[in-house]
Structure 1
């Protein structure tokens, strides 16, 4: 009885020690990230954009301000009534940009999430088992990488039709190969380490080793690439919407706003300038945050 209690207390102590170690590790990463002023600046911008997207319905009503046309006040410049002016249909550009942030972030985050899950799974399987399976999976990924991602996205949207769901699917499929290669390279460096051999020795299944030991230790490069991937997904969304293959009017989206206002650029500069600035600032902030995360997650930079 006493031996069982002792073993239980030891296992509890070991679990607590592991949990404390994980917490201290993430605290150290956050401490290093806070030292990077540019990364914190990017994080601040992203936080503001995310909050604006979350509370978009409280900032401006979707039906009466964002969608409803008011041709009597079309192409008005920035003023106290319309902070960023109005577009070619008299709609408030600021309100449309706020609601457009919700669309861009939704597509970017979900598309990258799908790509990480699919690409990470394929990369883990290829790196862990190796051999012919690795060769088949990675050669398929190479075929996808041989096609420019934007062209692959255009082909998928052309085949399935322009919609929000198809847009996310197209961007995620075009992003899968990069995450598969990143995860595979991490798995190749981890799978022969001692703690993996110990897990095999105690009879852990391959699925448990991959899910509980290999993938958690491969997250650092995936997190960095995912942050940068959201920026790329937002840019791809804007590009596809600009050429009419993304979010369809009258739904607000930064790329479609650029496309709709380009013919008025000479005498209504604000119609395209502010959506373009929104795209540029968002992508810049995500890149700054991604660079900061790369430095914070790199164990060689702890000193």
Structure 2
């Protein structure tokens, strides 16, 4: 029994080692990973980098719209607040919404997709037709409707972004399950008496994770962009809390003579999404079975 467990642990380690080996071949994916790690570290240590109340929230109108300098690396906004400090704390908000919203969407969509693909028949038809109804509405419009109904705050924003993403993961997992459920190891699990819940949780879902991981990485980028878009139109994180989309919206009227107020939040959104897309493409290539042959 202990030997079997050791073999399973060694197999998992070898799979991760092979994934990392394939990922290292893609220099652009590594660049995206490095940038994401830097952004995550900035978000984690945001409180040590800048005091939230004194630098991020407190207004200082005597310092309003100051250009980048040694004192304020990226300048100040229309209320005299340090833009770099607000970007660092805004990264925490954007990453939190992106990761948690995608995590919720993967959990719900993955479960629905696994159940639909495994059982098939009427249950599959009912679940997927409901998903088709959600897919018929553009995700950003669905998110706007949900936030408008529930109210603009962080929790409702995560709920809106996650619900609008559920159908995508349900369809991905369902497609993977349909290709897995009739394979020999599933038949072997049934033969030794494993129930449906165990087969789905221990065999089908783990073997369907590769496309979900790739889509989840790309989905975080989409969730961050949706969060910024909702905040830009006033339905996301409310001022004075720092969020990249609301910073972009607040500074657009000063674009002609204070370009830094909108440029740096926009660049932050662009770099983060680009890095996640590069990492997602690299993971897709690393998990492609054709590259392992």
Q: TM-score range by the shorter chain?
A: over 0.9
Deviations 1:187-238 (A, max 9, x none): 0000000000000001101000000000000000000000000000000000
TM (norm. structure 1) is: 0.96
Aligned with residue 270 of structure 1, among 228, 249, 260 = 260
- Aligned partner of 1:131 in structure 2 is 121
What is the RMSD of the two structures over their aligned residues, measured on CA atoms?
A: 0.5
Aligned with residue 212 of structure 1, among 195, 199, 202 = 202
Does 2:174 match 1:176? no
Distance 2:6 2:87 in 1: 47
Aligned with residue 119 of structure 1, among 92, 109, 119 = 109
Q: Secondary structure at the match of 2:197?
A: helix
- Aligned partner of 2:10 in structure 1 is 20
- Aligned partner of 1:245 in structure 2 is 235
How do 1:1-303 residues align onto structure 2 when only pairs under 5 Å count? 11-303=1-293
Q: Secondary structure at the match of 1:88?
A: coil
Deviations 1:153-178 (A, max 9, x none): 00000000000000000000000000
Distance 2:9 2:43 in 1: 34
- Return the offset for 1:15: 2.2
Distance 2:74 2:272 in 1: 18
Distance 2:9 2:154 in 1: 40
Distance 2:31 2:118 in 1: 38
Q: Secondary structure at the match of 2:167?
A: helix
Q: Secondary structure at the match of 1:101?
A: helix
Distance 1:106 1:135 in 2: 34
Q: Secondary structure at the match of 2:62?
A: helix
Distance 1:264 1:23 in 2: 53
> Which ranges of 4 or more aligned residues in structure 1 deviate by more than 6 Å?
none
TM (norm. structure 2) is: 0.99
- Return the offset for 1:14: 2.1
Unaligned runs of 5+ in 1: 1-10
Distance 2:11 2:160 in 1: 39
Q: Secondary structure at the match of 2:78?
A: coil
Distance 2:225 2:233 in 1: 13
Q: Which has the larger radius of gyration?
A: 1
